[in-house]
């Protein structure tokens, strides 16, 4: 194949990636390739833009513009660059989207409530340039502590600042993976590094996976982790009195269920008296409707797929057992503060599902429910640092600081009155 034709094909491929990131191809049969291509393109758009510019410059320097293939390749490269620039612009818009969500739900003075807390180090341009090299010099990770018997799926990693904090709030991270795959080693790291730098203690857990584990074994394990944290986190500088939870996808579902089923004895076999309450919840692109009762087409397709019997068990009764696993069926007035985050371009979990969950939770909850809907964001947009995910990490961190400060100030005021 001639060099000019290869150059043209590369530019056509990049243009296709940019187009899919801006407007993902809809439909269940294409959801996986659409997600993978859209996710990586959306969060690595600056890298692809730089690669497109370099590729074009090198091609022109070596060959000039001599053939129709050269002209067409450069024209398509221009279109790719414009598309990638638009993708970058939507990513930059996350900062405004997140800030608007927080001020709308928490009030314009929420930062002052949190005592002016903010990012200690932030995400540098070097980190954005090397997004898969995630670490901070001021954060220590303690690996593979057992929070319950049962092997490696019942392990927790603790992240804390190198100068071990005292009475620090705690953040529990629950990984996603459709309840069938996933690991604590690969998700939530940017947020945990940020929170640990701010003085929090973070805990990332594994939990039993389907099909070997059948619901509610996943949630029971997460509650076991909370009980373990309440008994042990003080060893690492954490305050067992304040535990927040976050997670993405299936982890977002489990985080929401954990927050909405506090101290339910039916979900705490053998540790019914343990305190599994949660003080703040920040689910990302979570699953909220297990029955399809919202009427959303993509949600109904998921409910009717082979995934649900794998998670709930082949003997699961519809709708009873499906409702038991559905956050929409567990909304309560005493739910903790929520910050729900979802991408408008999510190929796996429709953004309408998050909208409906937020709408209904706001109707019943006595606490604020913040909601950030992100233009151009795919599923799993926060796995590694990017322009968008950095803005979301800072916003979620500010929400968690607000929730902790508000509770701490309320406790101080109550003590003063007493």
Distance CA 126, CA 390 (A): 13
**Collapsing DSSP states into helix, strand and coil, what is residue 349?**
coil
Phi/psi for 333 (5° steps) reads -65, -35
- 375: Cα within 13 Å, side-chain hemisphere: 13
Count of Cβ atoms closer than 10 Å to residue 328 Cβ = 19
The stretches of 181-249 forming alpha helices (DSSP H) are 189-197, 217-232
Element (H, E) at 139: strand 139-146
How many angstroms separate the first and last alpha carbons of the chain?
82
Distance CA 336, CA 350 (A): 24
The answer to whether 170 touches 240, Cβ cutoff 8 Å, is: yes
Q: Which of 4, 249, 347, 386 is catalytic?
A: 249
220 contact partners, CB below 8 Å, separation of at least 6: 267, 268, 269
Residue 152 per-residue DSSP state: G
Q: Which of 175, 218, 379, 404 is catalytic?
A: 379
Distance CA 182, CA 192 (A): 17
Distance CA 287, CA 353 (A): 8
Entry field: residues in the chain: 418
Quick one: angle between helices 3-22 and 31-43, nearest 10? 100
405 contact partners, CB below 8 Å, separation of at least 6: 113, 114, 115, 117
Instruction: State how beta strands 155-161 and 139-146 pair.
Output: antiparallel
Element (H, E) at 141: strand 139-146
Distance CA 416, CA 418 (A): 5
The beta-strand segments (E) located in 303-392 are 338-343, 369-374
Peptide bond into 216 cis (omega under 30): yes
Q: Is 330 a catalytic residue?
A: no
Quick one: angle between helices 68-92 and 94-106, nearest 10? 20
Residue positions annotated with a catalytic role: 249, 346, 379
């Amino acid at each position: 194949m001639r060099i000019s034709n290869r150059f043209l094909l590369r530019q056509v491929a990049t243009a296709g990636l940019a187009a899919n990131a801006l407007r993902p191809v809809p439909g269940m049969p294409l959801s996986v390739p659409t997600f993978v291509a859209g996710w990586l393109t959306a969060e690595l758009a600056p890298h692809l833009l730089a690669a497109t510019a370099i590729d074009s410059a090198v091609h022109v320097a070596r060959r000039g513009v001599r053939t129709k293939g050269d002209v067409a390749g450069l024209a398509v490269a221009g279109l790719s660059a414009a598309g990638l620039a638009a993708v970058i612009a939507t990513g930059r818009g996350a900062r405004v989207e997140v800030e608007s969500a927080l001020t709308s739900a928490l009030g314009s003075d929420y930062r002052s409530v949190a005592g002016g807390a903010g990012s200690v180090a932030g995400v540098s341009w070097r980190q954005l340039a090397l997004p898969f090299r995630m670490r901070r010099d001021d954060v220590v990770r303690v690996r593979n502590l057992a929070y319950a018997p049962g092997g490696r799926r019942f392990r927790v990693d603790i992240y804390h600042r190198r100068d071990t904090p005292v009475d620090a709030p705690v953040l529990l991270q629950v990984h996603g993976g459709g309840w069938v795959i996933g690991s604590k080693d690969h998700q939530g790291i940017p947020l945990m590094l940020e929170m640990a730098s701010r003085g929090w203690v973070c805990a990332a857990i594994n939990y039993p996976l389907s099909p070997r584990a059948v619901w509610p074994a996943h949630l029971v394990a997460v509650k076991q982790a909370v009980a373990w944290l309440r008994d042990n986190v003080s060893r690492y500088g954490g305050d067992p009195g304040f535990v927040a939870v976050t997670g993405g996808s299936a982890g977002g579902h489990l985080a929401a269920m954990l927050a909405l089923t506090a101290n339910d004895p039916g979900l705490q076999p053998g540790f019914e008296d343990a305190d599994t309450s949660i003080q703040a919840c920040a689910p990302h692109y979570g699953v909220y409707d297990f029955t399809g009762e919202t009427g959303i087409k993509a949600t109904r397709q998921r409910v009717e797929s082979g995934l649900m019997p794998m998670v709930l068990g082949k003997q699961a009764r519809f709708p009873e057992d499906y409702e038991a696993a559905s956050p929409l069926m567990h909304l309560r007035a005493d739910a903790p503060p929520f910050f729900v985050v979802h991408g408008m371009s999510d190929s796996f979990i429709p953004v309408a599902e998050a909208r409906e969950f937020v709408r209904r939770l706001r109707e019943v909850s006595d606490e604020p429910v913040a909601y950030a809907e992100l233009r151009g964001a795919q599923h799993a947009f926060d796995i590694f640092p990017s322009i968008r995910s950095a803005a979301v990490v800072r916003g979620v961190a500010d929400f968690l600081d607000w929730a902790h400060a508000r509770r701490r100030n309320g406790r101080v005021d109550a003590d003063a009155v007493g």
